[in-house]
A and B are shown apart, each in its own frame.
Chain A
Amino acid sequence: AQSVSQHNHHVILSEAASLELGCNYSYGGTVNLFWYVQYPGQHLQLLLKYFSGDPLVKGIKGFEAEFIKSKFSFNLRKPSVQWSDTAEYFCAVNPMDSNYQLIWGAGTKLIIKP
């Protein structure tokens, strides 16, 4: 069965530290890839997405993600985090043989210490 793995369930960093959240998926075909963020008390919001082309995609608030097809990975990065980045981050995969289906990781809770 198709699945998405997020390696860390909880990450605690200090402000200005660099961030990398891992995401791996199991699906052999072409995929669209997403990172969503859920700030405390708010709904899920799209952070960035990858369809095709440049495997390094840039999203809102200084986040970026790199698609490495050979590793089935789509890791999220930010060079210098801020306290306001405290949130839960979800990776999701849309297999191209399904127009609509999104398969979700379990999420990573990120806490930034001021």
Chain B
Amino acid sequence: GAGVSQSPRYKVAKRGQDVALRCDPISGHVSLFWYQQALGQGPEFLTYFQNEAQLDKSGLPSDRFFAERPEGSVSTLKIQRTQQEDSAVYLCASSLTGKSRWGQFFGPGTRLTVL
């Protein structure tokens, strides 16, 4: 595919469940980003990978959030023991280089609802 893909598109979880969200970036893109977008807000940075290295995880809201990109392509965002405040759209973006000045390409997002 030509664009960034994410799965699942929608996820409903009961409070306390673990969830895993997947991102397939554009082939060859070095950088991968995860964002959290709450209703009525812009994306909030969660974490950044350059190839397989997680260079910045300062935006992860708690130690329940964990992201990996073991082979430098597909990435997974895992949320353990989900809470209602985790309900949001989780966006993945990729870019060709390590510099965002060239823009980031976004996937459709995963809408997570925690009941």
Which A residues fall within an 8 A CB radius of B? 4, 9, 32, 34, 36, 42-46, 49, 51, 90, 92, 94, 98-107
Residue of B nearest to A49 (CB): B103
Q: Is the CB of A43 within 8 A of B107?
A: yes
Contact with A along B46-65 (1 / 0, CB 8 A): 00101000011000000000
Q: Is the CB of A44 within 8 A of B33?
A: no
- CB neighbours of B98 from chain A (8 A): 99-100
B interface residue numbers (CB < 8 A to A): 3-4, 31, 33, 40-45, 48, 50, 55-56, 91, 93, 95, 98-101, 103-109
The answer to whether A106 and B100 touch across the interface, beta carbons within 8 angstroms, is: no
**CA A18 – CA B11 in complex, angstroms?**
39
Nearest Cβ on chain B to A24's Cβ, whole angstroms: 14
User: Nearest A residue to B35 by beta-carbon distance?
Assistant: A104
Cα A82 to Cα B31 with chains together (Å): 35
The distance in angstroms between the C-alpha atoms of A46 and B93, with both chains bound, is 12
Q: CB distance A43 to B108 under 8 Å?
A: yes
* Known A4-B42, A43-B106, A107-B41; 17 more pairs at CB < 8 Å: A9-B40, A32-B101, A34-B103, A36-B106, A45-B106, A46-B105, A49-B101, A94-B101, A99-B98, A100-B31, A100-B33, A100-B50, A100-B95, A100-B98, A101-B48, A104-B42, A104-B43
Return chain B residues, CB-CB under 8 Å to A36: 106
